Amino acid sequence: MTSFSKIWLSSPHMGGGEQKFVQQAFDSNWVAPLGPNVTGFETDLQAYLGNEHQVAALSSGTAALHLALLLLGVQAGDEVLCQSMTFSASANPIRYVGATPVFIDSENETWNLCPIALEAALLDRIANGKTPKAIIVVHLYGMPAKMTEILALSKKYAIPLIEDSAEALGSSYKGQKCGTFGALSILSFNGNKIITTSGGGALVTSDLKVKERAIFLATQARDEAPHYQHSEVGYNYRMSNICAGIGRGQMEVLDAHVALRRKAHQFYKDFFDRQEGTQVLHEPNMDFYSNHWLSAVVLNSFEEREALRLAFEAQAIETRPLWKPMHLQPVFEKYAFYGGTTAADLFAKGLCLPSGSNLTDSDFERIAQVLISFFEK
């Protein structure tokens, strides 16, 4: 009998190299929000994304989104278009700067920003005399959004795109890495993400000046002077050298983690392909390459979703409904929404399944037993 320890949706998975970098930080007394690991982690990420990209390591993905809005000059009273189906951290920073979110539905294939609903929103807001200041697109669960269509709209209406790639490091679209599509892009290294620094994030830009400006704002906006001199409001958003050490170790295993998450996805896809009416989130065609950060399935009904979730829970296996769309959240429901019921339907019938890169064969056996007795007995 295998042990009945809890199986988590997605838990931190150390590669082994992390402690070496953290130890170096201790040995050299770089226990600070700057230092060789911060620079090293940024260099590693730049090498991974392509050296034409500039990376600023920050304290969280949320901080990176806040800085992205500030760097684009989004101010109080401005409007920002945002994918509704996402984690709240995609939308909260819009409120930090006093701007107004306008939420957009998803399409059925990638579950991300629907280009048709996006264009309807753009036309309507512009007709109302309020051109949005930015568009926030998310690659949900690692699945790239329909970037060709979305970039074309960003260009057509001259509105910059912020790419929330918090869940999609290791994914790509038409051969280009997620995290490199936006006027500004962000990554997250929170504990449950594909790689972690315990907590952390990054801003990605193709412009070194923008990176320098991001770091300036992230380190309390200190002017050049022997004393502490400030002409602007600053933030304490830089990544610590300890966290960056964990990140450097994690970069050594990123590709391996992506391969393992994709294997978990294949396990679920093989099973649910046999179940009438269910659909695992999968790559629509060869243009899409997902890190499959989380595997997720849409079931026949809300009732079936809940019954399956509880069947897993009874066996100490964590699953979770899909992200509840922002336009249905009490904190955001007063804001405008464009689209239909795609995101709402996905939320009603969808379930995220255990997807960690550290799942063992016996974990998969336990998961399979629940699935088989639920669907095939």
Ligand X SMILES: *Cc1c(COP(=O)(O)O)cnc(C)c1O
Q: Which lies closer to ligand X via its Cβ, residue 44 or residue 167?
A: 167
Q: Which helix (H) or strand (E) holds 137?
A: strand 134-138
Cα–Cα nearest to 160, from 285, 30, 34, 72 = 72
Query: Based on CB atoms, which residue is closest to ligand X, 132 or 200?
Result: 200
Q: Does 62 contact ligand X by CB under 6 A?
A: yes
Residues 292 and 173: their CA atoms lie apart, in Å, by: 13
Active site residue 193: yes
Contacts of 368 (CB under 8 A, 6+ apart): 267, 271
Q: Which is nearer to ligand X, 294 or 371 (CB)?
A: 294
Look at residues 68, 52, 112, 157 and name the one whose alpha carbon lies nearest to residue 322: 112
Stretch that binds ligand X, among 59-67, 112-120, 210-218, 282-290 (CB under 6 A): 59-67
Nearer residue to ligand X within complex by CB, 151 or 169: 169
Binding window for ligand X (CB under 6 A); candidates: 39-47, 56-64, 309-317, 353-361: 56-64
Binding-residue pattern over the window 154 to 173 for ligand X, x denoting contact by CB under 6 A: ----------x-xx------
**Strands, DSSP E only, in 49-133?**
54-58, 79-83, 100-104
Q: Is 209 helix (H, G, I), strand (E, B) or coil?
A: helix
Does residue 89 bind ligand X (CB under 6 A)? yes
Which letter, b or e, does each residue of 76-104 get, where b requires 16 or more Cβ atoms within 10 Å of its Cβ? eebbbbbbbbbbebbbbbbeebebbbbbb
> Applying CB under 6 A, which part among 81-89, 116-124, 202-210, 349-357 lies near ligand X?
81-89
Question: Mask: binding to ligand X, 279-318, rule CB under 6 A, as x and -?
Answer: ----------------------------------------
Site string for ligand X, 223-252 (x = CB under 6 A): ------------------------------
Q: Interface residues with ligand X (CB under 6 A)?
A: 60-62, 86-87, 89-90, 138, 164, 166-167, 188, 190, 201
Q: Which residues are catalytic?
A: 193
